[in-house]
Each structure stands twice: as structure tokens, then as C-alpha cells.
Amino acid sequence: MSDLKPSPEFEEKIRKALDVPNADAEFVSNLRNQLAGRPVTMKPRFMMKPAWAFAFAIAALALIASAPSAVNALKRLFGYMPGVGLVENTGNLRMLAEPVSVTRDGVTLTIKNVLVYADRVELKYEVNGIAPENDGWQAEDAMQTPTAFCGGVNPGELMSTDGDARLRQPDGMVLERDYTGKYPQNVFAMQPVYEAAIPADVMHMTLLLKCIPQARLGAAPENWEVPFDLIAIPAGTVVGEPVIDVPPVDEEPASPSTETVPAPKVTMTLERIVPTDSTTILYLHFNMENADPSLISIMPVRAYVIDSLGQQIPLRGAFVWQPFEHQVGSSFEFATEAKPADGPLTVVVEQTIAYYMPLYTDPPQATPEQLSFTFDAGENPQHGQIWDLNETFTIAGYEFEIATVQAVTFSDIETPAYIDGSQGYDYGYQFIVESDPSLGLSVEMDIRADKCWLSDVKKIEPSPLLYTQMCRDEYPKGIVTVTIREMSVTLEEDLQVVWKP
Amino acid sequence: MIGYKAAITTPMTHDDLPDLITAAKGDPATFGRLYDRYLQPVYRYLYSRLGNVHEAEDVTSQTFIAAYEALPKYREQGQFMAWLFRIARSKMNDHFRRNRYEVELDAAERISAGEDVLGELVHDEELVRLRSVIKNLNPEEQDLIRLRYVADLSFAEMADLLGRREDAVKKTVYRLLARLKSQME
């Protein structure tokens, strides 16, 4: 290898050629402060004493009662717990008496939070001690062999519930995780929600876990049973930081719309504010006037606050970036990246994206046949071959045309973003979707064939949208059926709400 | 606010790292020392990939927040840098996938404006040529060069990150450099 070794001078030239600036000092300082202000996951602030929940509830009660500004909060039912979010005390609330940890073969499972409401149970647990090579989030082979890990399935297969935690009540009844999509945190395996009314006298339950989500099967302890105790929280006690309910305020348009096509009117509502020592938590939701029934979600693109000193502070979302998990009207939790100055706050959201999924609303707004089209790829489709389609669809009043489809290979769509490469999805079809360019319209669809999965959406104005779906092993042949799964529209109008304490 | 400033002034050695990582799992102040050590390499690497200060800052923030939250799950095996860069690459991947439309627009605008996404403007003619040659490498090769000469990873760290043997990584990089040099001659 010595004959290959480059000279230090040449290496220095490479460094100079690739020279990039260091991070800005202000950014470095802000991020450091932000990290310092985050909750510590291994030492929850409520973990200091036995029976911490009760002690905390009493302490919070005393604190709230002694602070005039917080007395109002006592009348309200919400509190805020870092890492958990809003906690509503409707009078029948039970909580985890104290965190419980069990260690087996170096792997520790800790139940961190349990909240038992009148209609549901929310659980949060975490696991430490899984070696990186056995952790499906880190292991190099996790993408290639998903079924080697707990809960993993091959693309296109039905989901596995092996990694779902279950709860056993004292009478032996076992609760299964909710899959209705009502609870956003439920997308995380370790934050399951159980939709059930638990009898008032149940103060003890047991977590059952067949295998640790994403742990390599056989490499970590399995079949866990972790008992835990609950404690009742007195009615009227605010659990966590006091929350300020914001009375309804109409938002003011921040800038006039310049849309050439009239855009639907989206409204933003500020529901609650939680000032903490290091940040301010905001709860917002979005609605649309006269919305089409196929509207699933309205997602914000960029959000920030302007404080009383005129400082613009970005908002960071604590939500899951999945339209399905945030249906219209549900709350988004945001935290300011720095502590705003005291006084009025102006909340601004720049752009929203409206997602329409007629096939997946309840009830559905279209049949798969109505949103499908076909083309004949023949018995031997060739790379580069193009078929004219000219299929026109209208969703929520927006018209678009699937103009053509072309047979492509992975190299046609590959960018550095595909760090894992094609993963075997080497052959696919690329659709050209044409619509009114002022709409910012995007469409996603599925080829109804086995082994088609990897999708790519590309749009560089003024070109039409290119939507590609890739398939394993070969091009689907013969009559290929394609179904439109989702359409979204970018709404440019800024939304703004002013909160005056 | 927990004070990082005192920690910044204390130098850190490789020998300190395992103890620091263990301590940082429950202590933001100690995590601050890891942050100070690794922030700039991560940022520089992301900047060189994204070509934009705003996006590099955004993904750097996501990387360190994710690392901080995932640190309790990390088991020290002398691969912290590789673990951190794996998170950074994963966050960058998410960023590309989520913002591909905007990212590609931005890239197109930058290129049309004459800005070179590989870094600051270089006036030296030889360096301009060298950058042009590097840009013609395939993405994986460019990434190797960035990890080594922008992020300043050691060959051992690169090997951990890429799941390859250290000598194989070293050989690949040296061969790449030999190729670049021959193309410059």
C-alpha cells in the first residue's frame, strides 16, 4: 500500500479544494443551549423519590396554589409533562406509581410513564443495552433482512404485531395496542395506546412483550413480563407544568394571497401555551372551510414565533410527519427553539400542505376502480419505452392528467439521497403528471403488482411532476394496473395568530 | 440552564471517551463536551453534502438532538464517531427524501447562480480543476473523500461507519487519490 500513499501536499490540496466553513458561532451556541434544555432521558425529573407521582402531585398542587398566575391553571384540566405532552386530569386519572426497570442479560426495559384515562391507557417504555449490531435501527443488515428483527416484515407483507407490548390486568384480561390511528404517539412501538375503560379498582398491571421492537430475534431476551403499580391522582390536580388555555382568536392573514387559482381557506387555531424555563410549548390545529370530504390532513411546512422584542424564533414540531397521524383538526405540538421574551407572541405558519386520500377516508370517497388506470406493458417491456396514457382525474376539484409512463431503471432516479442504493428495486415505471402549475400539486400512486414499493417524487419547475415506483427483479408485464393513493396541494398563504397574555 | 462553558475549556482525549459517553447518558453538561468535540466535523460534512448553511444547520441540529436522545441506547465499543455519523447520514437521507422537491430546486438555483455546492469559492486554478475532478467521481467515492478530508474521520472510524475493514477503506481512498492525481497531471 505504501506506493499508493498520497503525499501530504496532495492531501492538503484535497482539503483545500473541499474546504467548507465551520458552523456559525451563534448557531453552535444556540444548539448547545437547546440541548442543555432538553429533558434527560435516563433521569426523568420525576424519578427522584419513591411514590414520585403522588409526591409530585402534592408538590405541584402546593406550587400552583401559591402562584396567583397559576391558580387559573388549576381550574383547567391540562398539565404538560416533558416527554409525554399534555396530561388531562378528568378526575379519574391514574399514573405509574414509580418507574419500573427489569434487566435481563444486560438488556434493561424501563416503564417510564403510564397514564390511565377513563377511555384509554397510554404507556411509554424504553429499552437499553441492545448491541448496535442487534438493533434494527443501527444494524447494517436491517434493510436487507427485516424479518431477522422483531416486528420486521418484508415490503408489501402484512404488519407484524410481535413487537407490540400488551397489558395484562389482574383478572387476566389482556389489552392489545390500538390500531385505529386515533392516537399519534401510537406509531412508536414503545409508546402504545390501549383503547379500554379500566375498572376503577385496578391499580396493578403487567406489561407483556414477546420481543423487543427492532431487536435481532434470538440475540436479546424475549417474552418479558414487567409488573407495575398505579396511583390515583386527586381530581383537579394539574399534572406537570401549568397549561394556559387560549380563548379562540381569529387568525389574521399575514400576506395577501397571490394564487391565480383560488385556494381553499385554511384556518389556524392556537389552543394552548405552556411556558417552561427554556422554551415555550404551543398547541395548534388547522382546519379548512368547506373542505372536500376526502381531505385527510393539513400539515404545516414552516412555523415560527415573533416575540415582543421582534425576535423570530423557529418552532420545532414534536409530531410525527405522517398525514395519516394528523387528521384535520388534531393538535400539533411545537416548541420554540429558544425561550421567547415575555409578552405577546405572534405565531406564523408559512405554507401548509393539504393531503387528500379519497380511498382512505371513512367512509371512502371513491372506489379503487375510480382512481385506477391501466396500460399494456406487453410481455417484454424495455428500458426507455414510453406509453401514452392521457388519463384525467379530479380529486377535491383539482384536475390532473397522467400523461405518459416510461420504463426506467434505478440509475434513472438515483441521487445521493439513496444511501442504501436500490435495495433490489431496480426496475420501475415513471409517470408524468400534468396539472395547473400554480397549484403545487403532487400525486402518489401504487402499481398493483407484487414487489413494487420504492417510490420517488420529483418536480423541478416548470417541468411536470415525475412520479416513479420501482419493483424488484423485473418490470411488471402485460396489463399493469395503477391506483392513485394520495394527492396533495401546497397552499401558499401564510397563517398568523397573535397571542396576548 | 446547565453550564457547558466550564466543560468547553477541558481538553478531551480518546481515552476519556468511554467514560464521557457513560456520563453523558444522564448529564447534559457532559454531553456538551461530546457536542463540542464533534459538532464541527458533523456540520462540515453535512454542509459539503447539502451545500447550504440553513439546511446544514437544520440537519446538524436534528443529528445532535437524535444522538442525545438515543445516547442511552448506545453501547460504547469505540465506535462513537461512526455511530454519530450514521445518525447524521440517516437524518440527511430523511431530509433529502422529505424535501427532495425543494432541495433539487435549491440545487438547480445554486448551480444556475454559479455557486459551487462543494464549498466556498476557490480561486486557485489548480484547486478549481481538482474540485471539478472530484465532482466527477461517483457519489460513493465523493462521500469517501468527504468523510476523510472534510469530516476528518480516521480510517478506523470510516471503516466502522461503512462496515468495512480499515485497510480496505484506506486502500480505496488511496487509490481514489492516485486516480485524482493522475487526472490532474
For residues A335 and A315, the answer to whether their CB atoms sit within 8 Å is: yes
| Whole-number pLDDT of residue B109 | 37
CA distances from B179 to A18, A198, A199, B129, B183 (A): 17, 69, 73, 14, 6
| Whole-number pLDDT of residue B9 | 28
CA distance A138 to A140: 6
Please give the helix or strand (H or E) that residue A374 lies within, else none: strand A372-376
pLDDT at A67 over 90: no
| Whole-number pLDDT of residue A227 | 95
CA distance B168 to B146: 17
| Whole-number pLDDT of residue A185 | 62
| Whole-number pLDDT of residue A35 | 74
pLDDT band (50, 70, 90) for residue A16? confident
For residues A262 and A209, membership in a common domain is answered with no
Assigned C-alpha cell, B167 = 485497510
CA distances from A475 to A122, A273, B113 (A): 45, 53, 39
Contacts of residue A270, Cβ cutoff 8 Å, sequence gap at least 6: A246, A249, A282, A283, A284, A347, A497, A499
**Residue A20 to residue B47, Cβ atoms within 8 A:** yes
| Whole-number pLDDT of residue B118 | 44
| Whole-number pLDDT of residue A80 | 84
Nearest Cα to A215, choosing from A147, A294, A307, A166?
A147
Residue A11 lies in a domain: no
pLDDT at A333 over 70: yes
Distance from CA of A89 to the nearest CA of B (A): 28
Residue A92: what are its φ and ψ, rounded to 5°? -120, 25
For residues A191 and A270, membership in a common domain is answered with no
Considering only the beta carbons, identify the residue of B27, B74, B149 that sits closest to A15: B149
For residues A112 and A165, the answer to whether their CB atoms sit within 8 Å is: no
Of A5, A33, A35, which to mutate for an interface test with B (greatest number of B Cβ within 10 Å)?
A: A35
Residues A447-480: pLDDT tens digits?
988 778 777 777 666 678 899 988 888 999 999 9
For residues A232 and A287, membership in a common domain is answered with no
CB of A2 within 8 Å of any CB in chain B?
A: no
pLDDT at B6 over 50: no
Amino acid present at A248? P
Name which of A324-333, A392-401, B160-169 the model is least confident about: A324-333
pLDDT at A387 over 90: yes
Measured in whole angstroms, the distance separating CA B112 from the mean position of its chain's CA atoms is 26
For residues A352 and A376, membership in a common domain is answered with no
| Whole-number pLDDT of residue A71 | 33
Burial class (CB in 10 A: 0-12, 13-18, 19+), B181: middle
- How many domains is chain A built from? 3
Nearest Cα to A141, choosing from A410, A423, A417, A416?
A423
B1-119 topology per CATH: Rna Polymerase Sigma Factor; Chain: A (1.10.1740)
- Restricting to A residues 12-31, those with a Cβ less than 8 Å away from any Cβ of B are 13-24, 27-28, 31
pLDDT at A90 over 90: no
Average pLDDT over residues A497-501: 89
The domain boundary residue, chosen from A212, A241, A270: A241
Contacts of residue B102, Cβ cutoff 8 Å, sequence gap at least 6: none
The domain boundary residue, chosen from A208, A241, A274: A241
CB of B60 within 8 Å of any CB in chain A?
A: yes
Average pLDDT over residues A201-206: 94
Range list of H helices, chain B = 5-8, 17-24, 28-50, 53-70, 80-112, 125-135, 139-149, 155-162, 166-184
Residue A18 lies in a domain: no
B122-185 — its CATH code?
1.10.10.10
pLDDT at A330 over 70: yes
**Residue A278 to residue B43, Cβ atoms within 8 A:** no
Nearest Cα to B68, choosing from A275, A398, A39?
A39
| Whole-number pLDDT of residue A175 | 92
Exposure b/e, A95-114, CB count within 10 A at least 16 = b: bbbbbbeeeeeebebbbbbb
| Whole-number pLDDT of residue A378 | 95
For residues A333 and A421, membership in a common domain is answered with no
Residues A421-453: pLDDT tens digits?
677 788 999 999 998 887 888 898 889 887 787
| Whole-number pLDDT of residue A348 | 93
Residue A3 lies in a domain: no
pLDDT band (50, 70, 90) for residue A377? very high
Q: What is the mean pLDDT of chain B?
A: 73
For residues A193 and A67, membership in a common domain is answered with yes
Q: Is B139 helix (H, G, I), strand (E, B) or coil?
A: helix
Average pLDDT over residues A75-79: 65
Residue A109 lies in a domain: yes
The domain boundary residue, chosen from A199, A219, A241: A241
Assigned C-alpha cell, A448 = 398493483
**Residue A41 to residue B72, Cβ atoms within 8 A:** yes
pLDDT band (50, 70, 90) for residue A186? low
Q: What is the 3-state secondary structure (H, E, C) of A246-300?
A: CCCCCCCCCCCCCCCCCCCCEEEEEEEEEECCCCEEEEEEEEECCCCCCEEEEEE
% residues pLDDT > 90 (chain A): 32
Residue A37 lies in a domain: no
For residues A170 and A84, membership in a common domain is answered with yes
CB of A460 within 8 Å of any CB in chain B?
A: yes
pLDDT at B10 over 70: no
For residues A135 and A215, the answer to whether their CB atoms sit within 8 Å is: yes
Residue A17 lies in a domain: no
Name which of A56-60, A147-151, A365-369 the model is least confident about: A56-60
**Residue A457 to residue B130, Cβ atoms within 8 A:** no
For residues A98 and A231, membership in a common domain is answered with yes
For residues A309 and A278, membership in a common domain is answered with yes
CA angle A124, A127, A128 (to 5 degrees): 145
Q: A367-371, long-range: CB within 8 Å, 24+ apart, which pairs?
A: A368/A483, A371/A395, A371/A483, A371/A484
| Whole-number pLDDT of residue A21 | 82
Side-chain-side CA neighbours of A410 within 13 Å: the count stands at 19
Residues A257-313: pLDDT tens digits?
444 445 678 999 999 999 888 889 999 889 998 889 999 888 888 889 999 999 888
Residue A32 lies in a domain: no
Domain extent, residue A143, equals: 52-241
Q: How many helices (DSSP H) and strands (DSSP E) are in chain A? A: 5, 28
CA distances from A22 to A95, A199, B44, B47, B152 (A): 47, 58, 6, 9, 13
More confidently predicted of A34 and A282 = A282
pLDDT band (50, 70, 90) for residue A181? low
For residues A349 and A384, membership in a common domain is answered with no
Please give the helix or strand (H or E) that residue A57 lies within, else none: helix A52-66
Residues B11-39: pLDDT tens digits?
344 556 777 777 776 666 678 778 888 89
**Residue B73 to residue A32, Cβ atoms within 8 A:** no
Beta bridge partners of B17: none
Average pLDDT over residues A380-398: 94
- Restricting to A residues 134-153, those with a Cβ less than 8 Å away from any Cβ of B are 135, 138, 140
For residues A216 and A75, membership in a common domain is answered with yes
CA distance B47 to B53: 6
Distance from CA of B116 to the nearest CA of A (A): 10
pLDDT band (50, 70, 90) for residue B4? very low
| Whole-number pLDDT of residue A344 | 92
Please give the helix or strand (H or E) that residue A34 lies within, else none: helix A25-36
| Whole-number pLDDT of residue A434 | 92
Tell me, what DSSP letter sits at residue A23?
P
Q: What is the mean pLDDT of chain A?
A: 80
For residues A263 and A493, the answer to whether their CB atoms sit within 8 Å is: yes
In chain B, what are the domain boundaries? 1-119, 122-185
| Whole-number pLDDT of residue B77 | 66
For residues A168 and A105, the answer to whether their CB atoms sit within 8 Å is: no
| Whole-number pLDDT of residue A210 | 95
Residues B99-132: pLDDT tens digits?
544 333 333 334 333 344 444 444 567 788 888 8
**Residue A23 to residue B56, Cβ atoms within 8 A:** yes
For residues A181 and A327, membership in a common domain is answered with no
Report the 10 Å Cβ neighbour count for B54. Answer: 10
Name which of A66-75, A387-396, A458-467, B42-51 the model is least confident about: A66-75
**Residue B75 to residue A28, Cβ atoms within 8 A:** no
Residue A160 lies in a domain: yes
